[in-house]
A and B are shown apart, each in its own frame.
Chain A
């Protein structure tokens, strides 16, 4: 672990992985959306409105997944005081915030035609909104102090505490009565969604995962270059 967390080694490794991850992201997203828009059938109840699922659901998965990555990186940063872990957490935050925003916006655009409302304060929607505010709070806190290490540490604590929200999001549709439908892919007993709709969904999700990897590596590399620049300028 320590070996891979060496900044110089990270720069070499990410330079190698970046182009391949970018190609994988582009190819998977292209194939996935081709399948979603031209091959997958309309839903028997929702008609073509179901096309919104192909952006909404992968964004929602990534919104939670990126948070988990951010929280683990924060824990590593606090326990082992490794600077690369803080950089990873702080680079992941804006990416997670963007996926969460896409999830909320597309969910709203799906809610209006299907439920007859853009927004309800029910458990699923509210817990995802809380997730969005956790990302924003993390970013604000990380940049709130003149002393960067104090800000990073405070933000890392917030990220770890916020982990309680992840199971609440996942199980909100089972624990409370909500307008939001229950899980139909990651559930006990396997997916209940038709294969013709499932495969584009999973391919797009895989594409988004690679997109996250690309964005994370790019932003971490940028942060490391900036740290090097600061060290050269101020000798710290």
Chain B
């Protein structure tokens, strides 16, 4: 297991690369979902008036 995480000595390059990719793509997905829910709620409120 420790050997896996060491990535043959390249851990300090491999894991940040995976981290950046995950952070940016998951962040974008979260941002898109939150914006969608917000627009849905605002439209529901407007239509109830």
Residues of B within 8 A of A229 (CB): 39, 42-43, 46
- B38 to chain A minimum Cβ distance, whole angstroms, is 8
Interface of A is mostly: helix
- A51 to chain B minimum Cβ distance, whole angstroms, is 5
Is the beta-carbon distance between B42 and A109 smaller than 8 angstroms? Answer: no
Complex CA–CA separation, A102 to B42 (angstroms): 32
Is the beta-carbon distance between A51 and B14 smaller than 8 angstroms? Answer: yes
Does A225 touch B at the CB level, under 8 Å? Answer: yes
Closest A residue by C-beta to B39: A225
Complex CA–CA separation, A151 to B29 (angstroms): 25
Is the beta-carbon distance between B32 and A105 smaller than 8 angstroms? Answer: no
Residues of B within 8 A of A170 (CB): none
Chain B residues numbered 25-49 whose CB sits less than 8 Å from any CB in chain A? 25, 28-29, 32-33, 35-36, 39-40, 42-43, 46-47
On chain B, the number of residues with a Cβ less than 8 Å from chain A's Cβ atoms is: 26
Is the beta-carbon distance between A110 and B9 smaller than 8 angstroms? Answer: no
Is the beta-carbon distance between A113 and B46 smaller than 8 angstroms? Answer: no
Count CB-based A-B contacts (< 8 Å): 87
Is the beta-carbon distance between A102 and B24 smaller than 8 angstroms? Answer: yes
Does A48 touch B at the CB level, under 8 Å? Answer: yes
On chain A, the number of residues with a Cβ less than 8 Å from chain B's Cβ atoms is: 34
Complex CA–CA separation, A222 to B28 (angstroms): 14
A-B interface, 7 closest residue pairs, ranked by CB to CB distance from nearest: A48-B8, A225-B39, A48-B7, A106-B17, A49-B10, A55-B21, A47-B8
12 A-B pairs besides A98-B24, A112-B13 with CB distance below 8 A are A47-B9, A48-B14, A49-B10, A49-B14, A94-B28, A95-B28, A101-B24, A102-B24, A105-B17, A105-B24, A109-B14, A109-B20
* A–B complex contacts, Cβ < 8 Å, 30 sampled: A47-B9, A48-B7, A48-B8, A49-B13, A49-B14, A51-B17, A51-B18, A52-B13, A52-B14, A55-B18, A56-B17, A94-B28, A95-B28, A98-B25, A105-B20, A105-B24, A109-B14, A109-B17, A109-B20, A112-B13, A211-B25, A214-B29, A215-B28, A215-B29, A218-B36, A219-B35, A219-B36, A221-B36, A225-B40, A232-B47
